[in-house]
Structure 1
């Protein structure tokens, strides 16, 4: 057998290996989607998330009043501290400045969704890059790669050792009060989680037979990482991204509640609404109940969907 014939067979074997892994990954996702369609937890979570997204998208257009307008300020001030509750023209009543609470709740959903999604994407993208570098170095980088992996993971361990809300609050306090600061602060907190998760998943995939076969066939390490290890390591990362949305929304609301969010209090956001409501909780508890329930239900929806995806992708639970 000539050298060119052997090379052609090796190349063909490598292509078949990649195709098998790709088809296996595709069938895994098809099976997971089938399980999700029959999961009550996934359906409930999906419905909650869909309702939240629709409200965030169309809220500013369907809000009956301007969320910033002090339309009923005279009525509130004349009541001498007695807040106006739900009524025909104000479904959720009025806040302490005479603004329509229902309109502020609808418009605030968009800000809450924006902060949660952007924060999650910051953590996902940067964390994934770190995880890929560390995982590839540890799996195929030899002694030098393992040293790089050790340094990177010790840095992420330091970040994970700090309480997430404390770390986010510290970053927000240093950067200054703004909505962008909240996004960055919450996103930075998510970075070590994604980095650790993807790195661990890549290490697990690095010991699989298809990786050993690719290495023995002389396929370039970069190609093994990009076409073999990384695609098969993304399942837990996608699940974590869904769960991290719930965490990001809660932590962003917490930072806004602490006064580290948008410096303009007239801009509605559920965390800001909670912060404003705490001074009037004795006289108007519903001012805090509406945004709090919105945050809880939205976070619950993302958590339910994330847990359902985790179960659907768990090989121990697949029949």
Structure 2
């Protein structure tokens, strides 16, 4: 029996490899990504975003909470100084350096995006994995569990993500942790449905049929082979979900649910604060909006390129 299971293990590994070259699936995908200009553009944007977020305390030229230039605004009847020496992007309505607030705000956006995506990925993978595992291991009884889990999942998918996030944030109250949880909850049904579908597709693979014919236990097939080989599309979705998480977190902060303080500015809060100056100082809204768009674009470009590289139907 040991020799049989070893052969099944090798067969399962081979099904996750590309036919040519003998290299692993992720190695071949990485090779294709390196030749994709959109993927490289997205990777560069993400790398710059991460570096800026990590090095923000040293890159910010001024204290983002210090109202150093507030006197100039009051003394000039509402005039807000624009870009100039010492303030490359000007100051905001409270006399704070706009560039410093943008740089420090990247840390909040990165933190919320990563934590929210990890929460959604973990909970969604557990839910989708349980559904796919029960369906594969317990037959008719497993279908009942799968049906119950997926009906709840479908109800969550039926609600627009931003509306669901607002509902969760309203229940939990204002705060940065609330935003992370709210955005993470909206991503759970997406990961769950994707992993379940991927496991169902893998269940019809040759190695599953061969292992079943050889008498290998269904639990071993599901947990050791089907589940690991089903994770590729879920990991790609995590990259795309980071972009969505950053946008939704900014939206919640824009609506006043983020709870960001002056010492730790957030791009969504900066957008909300700029609304009263749209007629006279549009740049205050443009800066954080452009930062959100470019960051989300970077994750989207890389995620779509990864999906194309890993999915044979989408490869060029």
Q: Alignment partner of 2:90: what SS?
A: coil
1:26 & 1:126 partners in 2: Cα distance? 32
Higher relative helix content: 1
Q: Does 1:126 align with 2:120?
A: no
Q: 1:18 to 1:207 in 2, by over 3 A?
A: closer
Q: TM-score, normalised by structure 2?
A: 0.95
Q: Contact 2:17–2:24 (CA<8 Å) still a contact in 1?
A: yes
* Aligned positions of 1:102-251 closer than 5 A: 102-251=99-248
1:77 & 1:239 partners in 2: Cα distance? 50
Deviations 1:140-191 (A, max 9, x none): 3210100000000000000000011000001101111000000000000000
Aligned to 1:72: 69
Q: Does 1:59 align with 2:56?
A: yes
Q: Does 1:14 align with 2:11?
A: no
Q: Contact 1:258–1:275 (CA<8 Å) still a contact in 2?
A: yes
Q: How many residues align?
A: 313
Q: Contact 2:106–2:266 (CA<8 Å) still a contact in 1?
A: yes
Deviations 1:280-304 (A, max 9, x none): 1112111111000000000000000
Per-residue deviation at 1:16?
A: 3.1
Q: 1:261 to 1:317 in 2, by over 3 A?
A: closer
Q: Contact 2:16–2:25 (CA<8 Å) still a contact in 1?
A: no
Moved more, 279-288 or 176-185: 279-288
1:199 & 1:209 partners in 2: Cα distance? 19
* Aligned positions of 1:293-312 closer than 5 A: 293-312=290-309
Per-residue deviation at 1:217?
A: 2.1
Q: 1:79 to 1:266 in 2, by over 3 A?
A: farther
RMSD value over aligned CA atoms? 1.6
Q: Does 1:41 align with 2:38?
A: yes
Q: Alignment partner of 1:315: what SS?
A: coil
Q: Contact 2:179–2:257 (CA<8 Å) still a contact in 1?
A: yes
Q: 1:274 to 1:318 in 2, by over 3 A?
A: closer
Q: Does 1:277 align with 2:274?
A: yes
